[in-house]
A and B are shown apart, each in its own frame.
Chain A
Amino acid sequence: MLRTIVATVSSGSNVLIRMTALMAKSAIRIESLHMQRSNTQENISRISMLVDVENERQTARYVNQLDRLVDVISVADMT
């Protein structure tokens, strides 16, 4: 099933490595991935992604694990 996950993160590549490492771990497929620096807040970026997951539970676990990342300021399943 397709889910849209949106996150506000600290800018930089580290956060992307960690987010994709988590995805790779549970074989979540990326349909699309977009990261953009905020033009109002310094060092803040917004990531939105469309991912293909097995079920709600997997989404919840992924979102929780993203939320735990030090560089993730907020994250939500916006589907």
Chain B
Amino acid sequence: MTVTAKTEHELKMNLVTGADVLIQSILQEGTEVIFGYPGGAVLPIYDALYRQKVNHVLTRHEQGAIHAAEGYARVSGKPGVVIVTSGPGATNIVTGLMDAFIDSLPLVVFTGQVTRAVINSDAFQEADIIGITASATKHNFQVRHVRDLSRTVREAFYIATTGRPGPVLVDLPKDICAAQLVNEPHHSEINLPGYRVPTQVNEGDIHRFAEAIKNAKRPVLLAGAGVLHANASDQLRSFAQIHHIPVVCTLLGLGSFPASDPLFLGMGGMHGTYAANMALSECDLLINIGARFDDRLTGNLAKFAPEAKVAHVDIDPSEIGKNVQADYPVVGDAQSVLAQLEKVMDANPNTLEWLNTLNGYAEKHPLHYECSLENQSLLPQFVIERVCHFAGSDAIITTDVGQHQMWTAQYYHFERPNRWVSSGGLGTMGFGFPAAIGAQIAEQKKRVVAIVGDGGFQMTLQELAVVRELNLPIKIMILNNGALGMVRQWQEAFYGKRYSHSLPPVQPDFVRLAESYGISAHLVEKANELDTVLESAMENGEPMLIDCRVKQLENVLPMVPPGKGLKEMTGV
């Protein structure tokens, strides 16, 4: 460890601070980058960062830091690391914690805390972040003794990254980080008697599961984000191809199975394809691999997969049977389960007729939109198709939340895993742009495109400063409909077109806004202007913002109206 700016006495005694031990422990876990924002309670930590060689990204808001860490975690599979101060710094990351918790992203988040002596005295910038985040973290710790520091860091990383991944918070009273201690190698064994990671897949479960698949007439694979977390895309692809089983992806499962494969039916759920939702509705065996039967996927549960036996594979036993009763429950990670299943699959189900039926659905009711070339008006679906064309299948796409997110999920063809970053479970506006920063930092050689709405972009656009500072070649595509589009769509469909507060009367000039940060920007108003701009954007290695003025009153279709079953889609 390199330590500078220490007094002679400190050097002679080989004294370091708690903060030095903290940073050392964080680096020992293989951390490459920390996203953070300083403040009073973490001054000792930031002083240690000043002394030690650490790659720290200063975002312009704590929410930006945690969403960047999520984007980093999503594409790299490694834990995103965040440091923020106590009080407001800590409360500013609650949304990101909840987002990572519900979407199972590994994060280790360090919050400053007031000194131990004044905890629970309403001290300046004190917040009970342990209590506040109890339901928004996989686990949280407050370090009460310096001697626990390095062990707690190890445990935090271990919990965040094993089993079902999730965010772990470590609260650090200022005096713990400021404490001086003798720098000695510390042996910090993990001590978590209540934490078990499922490793052995039950053989009996696998055999019953295999029998069910072999005998199925209308099986369908539902691939969720669990496939991606377990790096099981290859296994999924070969399993589906060998046994001729069609595949539906959840929103977050996109990319786990190649969109161009003939067995791929598209995304299921509220804005899923007709073929995918019919497959889920008419199947006799629903094979859920790492999806959690979210209500946006199932629609009305009483009408969900009415004729199907359900097989459910999940690393988290508490997911199985939570929303949908499982006939074939299998606890384990998607990769081991699929590998073991393959070993015992000695026959194929006969799915020829079923695949024909589904192909018929897909041909009869593909995704579609009305494109009028005459006035060259810019349609959002068209923009996504062109981005897909120019960005290529290796690009990483992040989105914010709203109509543009659904159009991306529908019209972008994800061919490979870990190229798709979106806020699924929490639906957090403001996520997409900072997530792209984290993704670009994780994958510096890859093309990263952030597809955002005009509304959500305004929630975290201050991070443009980071893009400029690090010269990250992110392309920011604003699908600017001058509306909180998804809200407006629901008001159109279910509230008699009473557009209450969904058409903001004042919008910034996004082009000049980007330019004020030193980022070049283009305005695209007509369909025939798009390709030239996209082509040049994807070629150059500079950040760029593209403000696409898309049709305001366009709707995301088809749609399963709230409360309805998947078969009751409108706008097919």
CB nearest neighbor in A for B138: A70
Residue count of chain A within 8 Å CB distance of chain B:
20
Q: Which of A61, A65, A71 contacts B194 (CB 8 A)?
A: A71
C-alpha gap A73/B192 in the complex (Å): 9
Please measure, in the bound complex, the distance between the C-alpha atom of A62 and the C-alpha atom of B130, giving whole angstroms: 21
Q: Which B residue's beta carbon lies closest to that of A25?
A: B135
Please give the distance in Å from B2's CB to the nearest CB on chain A: 34
CA distance A64 to B331 in the complex (A): 13
| B139 within 8 A of partner (CB) | yes
- A21 contacts B159, CB within 8 Å? no
Would you give the shortest CB distance from A65 to chain B, in whole angstroms?
5
| Contact residues in B for A9 (Cβ distance below 8 Å) | 194
Contact (Cβ within 8 A) A70 B135: no
Q: Which chain A residues lie closer than 8 Å to B322 at the CB level? A: 61, 64
Q: Is B321 an interface residue (CB 8 A)?
A: yes
Interface 0/1 of A48-72, CB less than 8 Å to B: 0000000000001100110111111
Decide: B134 and A10 in contact? CB cutoff 8 A: no
**B140 interface residue, CB < 8 Å from A?**
yes
Q: Is the CB of B135 within 8 A of A73?
A: no
- Using Cβ atoms and an 8 Å threshold, which residues of chain B touch A67? 317-318
Chain B residue nearest to A73 in the complex (CB): B194
- Chain A, Cβ-Cβ closest to B131: A17
A64→B318 contact, CB < 8 A? yes
The reply to whether A14 and B140 form a contact with Cβ atoms under 8 Å apart is yes
Select one of A44, A64, A73 contacting B317, CB under 8 A: A64
**A46 interface hit (Cβ, 8 Å):** no
Pick from B135, B159, B194: contact of A10, CB under 8 Å: B194
Interface status of A18 (Cβ within 8 A of chain B) = yes
Give the contacting residue for A70; candidates B142, B192, B318; CB below 8 A: B192
Task: Closest A residue to B323 by CB, please name it.
Answer: A61
B496 at the interface (CB under 8 A from A): no
Q: How far does the Cβ of A44 sit from chain B's closest Cβ, in whole Å?
A: 8
Interface residues of A in 9-51 (CB under 8 A from B): 9-10, 14, 17-18, 21-22, 25, 44
A14-B140, A17-B131, A21-B135 in contact; A60/B195 too (CB < 8 A)?
A: no
Chain B residues with CB under 8 Å of A44's CB are 193
Q: Does B32 contact A (CB under 8 A)?
A: no
Would B130 and A14 count as touching, CB distance under 8 A? yes
Among B131, B138, B195, residue most surrounded by chain A Cβ atoms (within 10 Å): B195
A71 to B317, CA, bound (A): 16
Residue of B nearest to A44 (CB): B193
Task: Name the residue on B nearest A18 (C-beta).
Answer: B134
CB neighbors of A among B212-242 (8 A)? none
Contact with A along B140-174 (1 / 0, CB 8 A): 11100000000000000001000000000000000
Residues of B within 8 A of A18 (CB): 134-135
A61 and B551 alpha carbons, distance in the complex (Å):
45
Quick one: closest B residue to A63, CB to CB?
A: B318
Shortest beta-carbon distance from B462 to chain A in Å: 32
**Residue B554, interface by CB 8 Å:** no
Q: Is B316 an interface residue (CB 8 A)?
A: yes
A25 to B98, CA, bound (A): 15
Q: Chain A nearest CB: distance from B490 CB in Å? A: 26
Q: Cβ of B192: which chain A residues have Cβ within 8 Å of it?
A: 70
Inter-chain CA distance A25–B135, complex, in Å, is: 9
Q: How far is the CB of A2 from chain B (nearest CB, A)?
A: 22
* Identity of the chain B residue whose Cβ is nearest the Cβ of A61 in the assembled complex: B322
Q: Are B194 and A69 in contact (CB under 8 A)?
A: yes
Determine how close the nearest CB of chain B comes to the CB of A76; give it in whole angstroms: 14
Cα–Cα distance between A70 and B195 once the two chains are bound (Å): 5
Are B194 and A60 within 8 A (Cβ)?
no
Cα A68 to Cα B320 with chains together (Å): 12
- Quote the shortest CB–CB distance from B453 to chain A (angstroms): 30
Cα distance, A25 to B131, chains bound together (Å): 14
Q: Given A17-B134, A21-B134, decide whether A10 and B193 contact each other with a Cβ distance below 8 A.
A: yes
Contacts of B141 in A (CB 8 A): 14
Chain A residue, CB-CB nearest to B135: A21
Q: What's the Cα separation between A25 and B195 when bound, in Å? A: 22
Could you tell me the distance between the alpha carbons of A9 and B192 in the complex, rounded to whole angstroms? 11
Least CB separation from A13: chain B residue: B130
CA distance A9 to B193 in the complex (A): 9
Chain B residue nearest to A64 in the complex (CB): B318
Specify the chain A residue showing the minimal Cβ separation from B168: A70
A21 to B322, CA, bound (A): 18
Residue of B130, B138, B159 near A17 (CB, 8 A) is B130
Contact residues in B for A22 (Cβ distance below 8 Å): 135
Instruction: Decide: B139 and A70 in contact? CB cutoff 8 A.
Output: yes
Chain B residues within an 8 Å CB radius of A25 = 135
Inter-chain contact B317/A60, CB cutoff 8 Å = no
How far, in Å, is A71 (CB) from chain B's closest CB? 5
Which partner residue on chain B sits nearest A72 by CB separation? B194
A25–B138 alpha-carbon span in the complex (Å): 16
* Given contact pairs A10-B193, A61-B322, A68 touches B134 in the complex (Cβ within 8 A): no
Q: How far is the CA of A70 from the CA of B163 in the complex (A)?
A: 11
Q: A11 to chain B: closest CB distance in Å?
A: 11
| 19 chain-A/chain-B pairs, Cβ below 8 angstroms | A10-B193, A18-B134, A18-B135, A22-B135, A44-B193, A61-B318, A61-B322, A64-B317, A64-B318, A64-B322, A65-B318, A67-B317, A68-B316, A69-B139, A69-B194, A70-B139, A70-B194, A71-B194, A73-B193
Nearest 5 Cβ contacts at the A-B interface? A64-B318, A73-B194, A70-B139, A17-B134, A68-B318
Given contacts A21-B134, A70-B192, A72-B194, 10 further A-B contacts (CB under 8 A): A10-B193, A14-B134, A14-B140, A14-B141, A14-B142, A60-B321, A69-B139, A69-B194, A70-B139, A73-B193
